[in-house]
Structure 1
Amino acid sequence: MTNIKMVAIDIDGTLLNSKGELTPKVKETIKKATQKGVKIVLCTGRPTKGVENLLNELDLMSDEQYVISYNGSLVQSTNKKQIVQSYSFTFKELDEIRELADTLQVHYHAAGDDALYTTNRMIGIYTAYESVLVNMPIAYRTIDELKNINLNPYKMMFVDEPHILDDVLLRIPQTIKEKYFLVKSAPFYLEILHKDANKGNAVAALATFLNIDLSQIMAIGDNDNDIDMIDVAGYGVAMGNAVDRVKEHATYMTTSNDEDGVAHILEELVL
């Protein structure tokens, strides 16, 4: 039996099946792990607000449980009383990314605590999709209005059709790529984060805070934004439905999210 003390689990494409559901088997297995004393940490690109229903369903709301949100930009206790690590954008940085989005003619939004903010008069369909997914409203504001409310978002997102984002990636200046951390979390999502914000750094920061060695951590994911945490964890797990790049970095494989992959790997290595 392994000595795993913490499990970081991606949500979309990993914890949830392709219908966006938390299956009874995955739910039951996670609760067995927490009862054993293992820290279960949801580690997601979603804003914290978009995770609260799952935290409640899994009985993870307390000052002794933790969540990683905004793709690693925010690490905090699930009851929000303790912030372990936080990275956000200044208004100047937000405006720089907004200008770039306008130049590249791509839809974008900024993820704050309470809403998805955009200066796009024509709201992108994937901003609308994200709004429904994470249960947060869309707030259209002019750039002057954003300055007046002193918005400091945890992340920015270019959101558009996959072929448009692929072209955008090729045209983003190297200076921007060096200044920020860019990663695709879905074919239609390009996330722009603080240079030091990623799931791997977030998992490492939480491990230090909890005095858990990285060798005692499992990380489970399916997409590019999960690679950093799979690399730092002692047990890096790729879902059966993971993209090839994730599988190349993982040391363990499990079944797909439609086959209760999270439950299977927990039963194999944790329970």
Structure 2
Amino acid sequence: MPIKLIAIDIDGTLLTPEKIISERVKETLLKAKEAGIKIVLSTGRPLPGATEYLTALDLTNKGDYAITYNGALVQDTHSGEVLANHTLDINDFYRIEEMSRKVGVHYHTTTQDAMYTSNKDISAYTVREAMLVNMPLKFRTVEEMDESIAISKMMMIDEPAVLDEGIKQLPKEFLDRYTVLRSEPFYLEILNPSASKGQALKSLIDILGLTPDEVMAIGDNENDLDMIQFAGMGVAMGNAVPIVKENATYITDTNADDGVATVIEKFALID
């Protein structure tokens, strides 16, 4: 069955190690779009953090979509309209904030519009994330947080060794309550249990009237795993973590060697 939609992770997949889209990958994706294939960027970033790449790939028109916040939102990239939404509320904030203090790691909170931290000794990784995804960063005490807040995701962030120790202390009840993803050695993402890239991809193809057999998903890290498992053709990058490779239909080249272009040329752009 021909591929009609390709979901592509950004960091470690679409982007080279230098954080750019190579010319070959760009040209391949533009050809795929011209051939009528939906190209959907699927990322842990908010929409503003993906806009640069969406624009470069001509993916900001009516009928273009993105999966953001690791599946918490499915959005129309032209209008920003939310088509599917799985968020956290203030009670989740209190629970996750308390757990972060208990296990001794920094954390921050992300909405559609801003990032918030209650850590007075703000983590350098929080600052890094705010700059990376082009979001304003605000300090709020726990008491100052808006009780009506809709949280796209929360993140426990710290030095990898510190985060490793913190994760070991997380109780099973906590892990079972949320979708918990290690997206980087220094990031642990915590989302609504219905939020994941795979769940968001299912919501999107249901809206578009497609089936999993018509979908290719490409990624490199654990937060891409259920998306890769859901798609009819799940593709692991050559630089992917072992568990992603183990669950993939196909392993392509690394992000340094245009792996996204390689697999699309081989399986989607077929004359």
Normalised to the residue count of structure 2, the TM-score between the two structures is: 0.97
Unaligned runs of 5+ residues in structure 2 are none
The answer as to whether partners of 1:49 and 1:113 remain within 8 angstroms in 2 is no
The answer as to whether partners of 1:8 and 1:40 remain within 8 angstroms in 2 is yes
Q: Please tell me the residue identity of whatever aligns with 1:181.
A: T
Number of the residue aligned with 1:110: 109
Q: Please tell me the residue identity of whatever aligns with 1:57.
A: A
Q: Please tell me the residue identity of whatever aligns with 1:54.
A: Y
Q: Please tell me the residue identity of whatever aligns with 2:183.
A: S
Alignment pair present for 1:25 and 2:56: no
Q: CA deviation at 1:80?
A: 3.4
Match runs of 1:119-198 below 5 Å: 119-147=118-146, 150-198=148-196
Number of the residue aligned with 1:266: 264
Match runs of 1:209-224 below 5 Å: 209-224=207-222
Number of the residue aligned with 1:200: 198
Match runs of 1:234-249 below 5 Å: 234-249=232-247
CA deviation map 1:150-188 (0-9, x unaligned): 322100000111122221111111111111110101111
Number of the residue aligned with 2:4: 5
Aligned residues: 269
Structure 2 CA distance, aligned partners of 1:174 and 1:199? 22
Q: CA deviation at 1:144?
A: 1.9
Structure 1 CA distance, aligned partners of 2:155 and 2:231? 26
Number of the residue aligned with 1:36: 35
Normalised to the residue count of structure 1, the TM-score between the two structures is: 0.97
Determine helix, strand or coil for the equivalent of 1:212.
coil
Determine helix, strand or coil for the equivalent of 2:205.
helix
Structure 2 CA distance, aligned partners of 1:208 and 1:82? 17
Number of the residue aligned with 1:47: 46
Structure 1 CA distance, aligned partners of 2:163 and 2:112? 25
CA deviation map 1:116-145 (0-9, x unaligned): 101001111111111121111211111122
Unaligned runs of 5+ residues in structure 1 are none
Alignment pair present for 1:254 and 2:252: yes
CA deviation map 1:16-62 (0-9, x unaligned): 01111111111111000000000000000111111111111111002
Structure 2 CA distance, aligned partners of 1:198 and 1:114? 20
Structure 1 CA distance, aligned partners of 2:110 and 2:81? 20
Structure 1 CA distance, aligned partners of 2:154 and 2:264? 33
Determine helix, strand or coil for the equivalent of 1:185.
strand
CA deviation map 1:221-253 (0-9, x unaligned): 000000000000000000000011100000111
Q: Please tell me the residue identity of whatever aligns with 2:48.
A: K
The answer as to whether partners of 1:49 and 1:134 remain within 8 angstroms in 2 is yes
Q: CA deviation at 1:63?
A: 2.3
Q: CA deviation at 1:81?
A: 5.1
Decide whether aligned partners of structure 1 residues 66 and 171 sit closer, same or farther in structure 2, where only a CA change above 3 A counts: same
Number of the residue aligned with 1:89: 88
Determine helix, strand or coil for the equivalent of 1:147.
coil
What is the percent sequence identity of the aligned residues?
45
The answer as to whether partners of 1:63 and 1:81 remain within 8 angstroms in 2 is no
